[in-house]
Structure 1
């Protein structure tokens, strides 16, 4: 039997523990400085077999290092937008993932042996995690009372929440580190190290989080997490709905006779997370069986009772599950032990990389879910805006198209804009019909003034009054839609909407956003000004040119008639025209003059009427655009 000694004075820790306490370089710096060929820190070999083994190890680990490099670049980009899980208490922070990837880099770039990290965590005090660890590490047939006492009192003198139990030749307890000559830690392909967490108080589980973020981070750093849960006290569904690492073993603390549908329980595992292995055990029964055997009596009946109780507890199923996870096929051409260690380290490192990629996939899926939800809500708000716009246009402006001329059974509703323009057109026709050519000649310099004054009186006054009445109702609708927009942003706080919120706030306080009476009536004034500025001005210019042309024709005709009349008076009219190279009798000259004057007047009348027709064509085009402007406004 191995000699056990219980000491209270601290001593030097094992080499593996000391190495883990050294400062780790940053992952990005390590990946940038490591070359593709020298990524494994193997010493220079002196034999051919050692050189070939090192080369094979480096070749095997080169692809995982490349995957690690790509994962380290992807993870920060995904973590930037995956804050929902952190707020819900079921996710890891970026710093935790960086630490995990640093451990992966050390496993892939170093060939120095390290123990397998087994983490045991009990969800609550009734989960029996202490009894479970005692049942795993106890050796009742070979251990000394001092070793059993160290294992029994391991939490008595430890104020921390974490114990590290490793293999040692002598039983030793030094703070949060314990060494035990437990054969259980040496039965796997590589030496094992057990991390035991103190069971949390019930006050923490009352918050609805079965596993705290700190403990969850430690579980992801371990190689094989073992989580114990008593379904009678804690919610097993909550534990399974938490994203757990690869190779996780969930131990259900219950009697084997209790019926449990494991497939139904696994349905609670998140979509992208790996499914843990579920085992039903009774750690308390196994611990009591060990205590019975350690009581001093070693009769055959006591041994039989121990075997029956320990086998009924089903704790050995956990050992079988660990062996199946850690089982490796060593390379027959190389050192079997070293090859098994290297293969196991690479496989466990790939499991951590898989956890990181699963986290990225779950985060992207979560972001996609929130984006789809935000898109659906935004689409519903957009549909509501379009519905309100169509309703407002129909209620305030009427239908888009004018009603048909046929007389239906019920009188259809008129287009308010078209009807208002039609009434204005009828009033302006009276004004323009009274503005005959001879009035134009008399008031040629007042054409624009007269038409503008008539437009000021007749241009859609009823429509303008209705729009002014509806201003208050439109302002209420605008306020309601603005509030709905900000409520939509508040509903989806997970998404980064600060830029959009700032844009909406700027638009809300901008002068163009404030609904006033001038905004609604602006198209009416703009179209009226357009009629005055362009068609009316052009009609004014046409009137001036017509008067000048008519005056020139009348004066010219009068001049010809006067020359003929003067020649007739003096009897030398032919002589006057002869001096101009023309042969015309005085009577003929007076007729030509009168005809020229009349033709000039007739030309002026036609030119004026043609100018008014063009003015009406422009009027109709501008009137048709008024309806479009108001609907856009």
Structure 2
């Protein structure tokens, strides 16, 4: 793995300042160069790849994906979700299209180095890659002092001029032809470093140093890189957090993860603990050790021990592994120059954007499941309240609350009806309706009425609780969520402001009043019967007395030819018979009238329980639980619509996935 690094030592373009050192150690340097040059030839990849897909195919796929993204990905959002927004991926797809559509493809490979956390060692890694053991003092200082100002991203290129040895150029406005340098905060450092020239393709090194940039800006530069290098110190940031960060292009085919701590010593340790992408190269590097080796050879350039110490430190630090990995990625595109490399980067951005769509669809499905769970809980709470109200109002399944109330009222009214005998009708006939109505009003389900009034007060409190839970179910979804519907919130607000929404004390007792009023008609009929009975009974009594008097008067000759023509005894007997028959008829008629009234009482009482249950259900549905029911129905419709949309989008995403895989797997 040290071949690239030490081969670099043998191919350096030394300046005039190092000519004396080369004269003294030329033999050893030449020997080292030959040894590592042969190793580099042995380790160099033997195959190259051409662009697997034509540029028009990739451009077509990019255009289709750009048109598809706004249908799934959200716009804007908080900083934590910037890399999941449609603006972020639109920008990346535009960069990919520009890089493929340009008349002359930018003939440089973009290698981006990003320090994931503080003390990651990214700056030391770049210094170790660029510095040379026998470089001139000005070049060494320019590399060491490149971090001024510290919050400036650097784009490091090879200086094509033959002299001087290095050139330091700062450009505040990067050329448009360079899509990676669109940030005006980026500055250029051009120098004649042999490390930049040892690869199959020319490269430029992007060092992301501006930690104040937004997360999406950093992610955009990493995703659009040809070779992203992520530097992390696992002692200060857990690898679990790193591997779960979607703003890192860990699935990039050329991605390199550099761990600058010895806490995890091997790639096998990473694989055993974390699920990492199969294409990700994980390297354990100690750039500080490499810099110490460079310092040792600079401090004592005439010592063979210093040269050996430099070689050992540089090789053991793992810096050659980074160089070798970059060279291996670029060597695959050697024959096609940059066309294959740009196509590979564009294809990866295409895959990453589709992967972001899959993540968004998955999260949307999970959100829909969570919403359905909340709606189900709300429905269960509403059903439990309804069952509890029924139990409290009417008792358990075998309860007889209403029947007992009717029976108790009957016991109270019964003495009043019993006192209304036929002989009391003579002086109370005009008061029958008032007497019976007053007795019914005093006795009709009074205790049940009090219980229902008390229950209405409790239902008002339950109504407030359920309304709060229903509105909370709407607000549980984050701002901008598909399920946080302003229309549904407005509908709920209108329900709460409706005049019929608020509970009144007689909300549950209306059936009692209605059924009690239904007894007015039977009572009036009883009153009419009492009047007719009284008149009939009085008529029969008068008729009996009239017949008896007519018989007596006929015997005395008082009626002349108009006499009845019967004996007095017969007339008196007939009169008494008529009177008794009239009284008997009146008694029977009155008793039958009271029996009919009691039948009407039973009929009205039997319908009361049914009416109370219907009224209770209606009150719960239209008042107590109207808000949660409306919320459940509204969210249920939204869930159905969302699931239907996700099904359609999943099918379309599957078609785009197939096209992307076909492009990747198409033969050269």
TM over 0.5, shorter chain: yes
Larger relative contact order (Cα-Cα within 8 Å, sequence gap ≥ 6): 2
Q: CA deviation at 1:185?
A: 4.2
In structure 1, the residue matched to 2:397 is 401
Of 242, 249, 271 in structure 1, the residue corresponding to residue 256 of structure 2 is: 249
The residue aligned with 1:172 is 167
Between stretches 496-505 and 438-447, larger displacement belongs to: 438-447
Q: Deviations over 1:327-358 (max 9, x none)?
A: 6468xxxxx43xx5333322211212222233
- Does 2:64 match 1:66? yes
Once the two structures are superposed, residues 552-590 of structure 1 have per-residue CA deviations (whole angstroms, 9 ceiling, x without a partner) of 9x99xx99xx9xx9xxx9999xxxxxxxxxxxxxxxxxx
Cα distance in 2 for partners of 1:102, 1:265 equals 37
The 3-state SS of whatever aligns with 1:126 is: coil
SS in 2 for 1:195: strand
Distance (whole Å) between structure 2 residues aligned to residue 453 and residue 428 of structure 1: 10
**Contact 2:92 / 2:224 at 8 angstroms: preserved in 1?**
yes
1:568-583 alignment to 2 at 5 Å?
none
Distance, in Å, in 2 between the alignment partners of 1:448 and 1:188 is 114
CA–CA separation in structure 1 for the residues paired with 2:409 and 2:153: 90
CA distance in 2, matches of 1:277, 1:135: 19
Contact 1:377 1:488 in 2 (8 A): yes
When residues 153 and 456 of structure 1 are mapped into structure 2, their CA distance, relative to the original with a 3 A threshold, is same
State the partner residue of 1:284: 288
Give the match for residue 309 of structure 1: 313
Deviation at 1:113, TM superposition (A): 1.0
Match of residue 4 from structure 2: none
2: CA distance, partners of 1:534 / 1:213: 75
Q: Show the 5 A alignment for 1:137-216.
A: 137-138=130-131, 140=133, 145-156=137-148, 158=149, 160-170=151-161, 171-175=166-170, 176-185=187-196, 190-198=201-209, 200=211, 212=215, 214-216=217-219
> How far off is 1:68 after superposition?
3.6
User: What are the equivalent positions in structure 2 for 1:533-544 lying under 5 Å apart?
Assistant: 533-534=517-518, 536-537=520-521, 540=524
Q: Name the structure 1 match of 2:32.
A: none
Distance 2:67 2:197 in 1: 33
Q: Which runs of 5+ in 1 are unaligned?
A: 6-52, 205-209, 331-335, 404-414, 573-590
Q: Does structure 2 conserve the Cα–Cα contact (< 8 Å) formed by 1:437 and 1:608? A: no
- C-alpha deviation, 1:189, in angstroms: 6.0
Structure 2 residue 590 is the aligned partner of structure 1 residue 621? no
SS of equivalent to 1:262: helix
CA apart distance, 1:154: 1.8
Structure 2, gaps ≥5 residues long:
1-11, 17-50, 171-186, 551-558, 563-576, 621-668
C-alpha distance in 1, partners of 2:263/2:235? 14
CA distance in 1, matches of 2:456, 2:611: 22
Distance 2:514 2:440 in 1: 11
Q: Deviations over 1:122-142 (max 9, x none)?
A: 23453222221123334556x
Correspondence 1:322-401 to 2 at 5 A: 322-326=326-330, 328=332, 336-337=335-336, 341-373=338-370, 375-376=372-373, 379-380=376-377, 383-384=380-381, 386-387=383-384, 390-391=387-388, 393-394=390-391, 396-397=392-393, 399-401=395-397
- Give 1:418-567 correspondences, 5 Å limit: 418-430=403-415, 451-469=436-454, 493=478, 497=484, 499=486, 512=500, 514-515=502-503, 518-519=504-505, 521-524=506-509, 526-534=510-518, 536-537=520-521, 540=524
CA contact (8 A) 2:405 2:447 kept: yes
2:94 counterpart of 1:98? no
Q: What is aligned with 2:115?
A: 122
The equivalent residue for 2:274 is 266
- Change in Cα spacing, 1:502 to 1:116, as seen in structure 2 (3 Å) is farther
Once the two structures are TM-superposed, the CA of residue 312 in structure 1 deviates from its matched residue by: 1.2
Report the TM-score, using the length of structure 1 for normalisation. Answer: 0.65
CA distance, structure 2, for counterparts of residue 442 and residue 107 of structure 1? 113
SS at match of 2:147: coil
Cα deviation, residue 492, structure 1:
5.5
- TM-score where L is the length of structure 2: 0.62
- State the superposition RMSD in angstroms: 5.4
- Secondary structure (helix, strand or coil) at the match of 1:97 reads helix
Distance change (3 Å), C-alpha of 1:547 and 1:464: closer
- 8 Å Cα contact 1:131/1:283 also seen in 2: yes
Partners of 2:119 and 2:461 lie apart in 1 by: 60
Please say if residues 522 and 600 of structure 2, whose CA atoms lie closer than 8 Å, have aligned partners that are also in contact: no
- Structure 1 residue 308: deviation in Å? 2.4
Deviates more, 1:449-458 or 1:594-603: 594-603
Aligned partner of residue 127 in structure 1, secondary structure: coil
How far residue 162 of structure 1 moved from its aligned partner, in angstroms, is: 0.7
Q: 1:188 to 1:538 in 2, by over 3 A?
A: farther
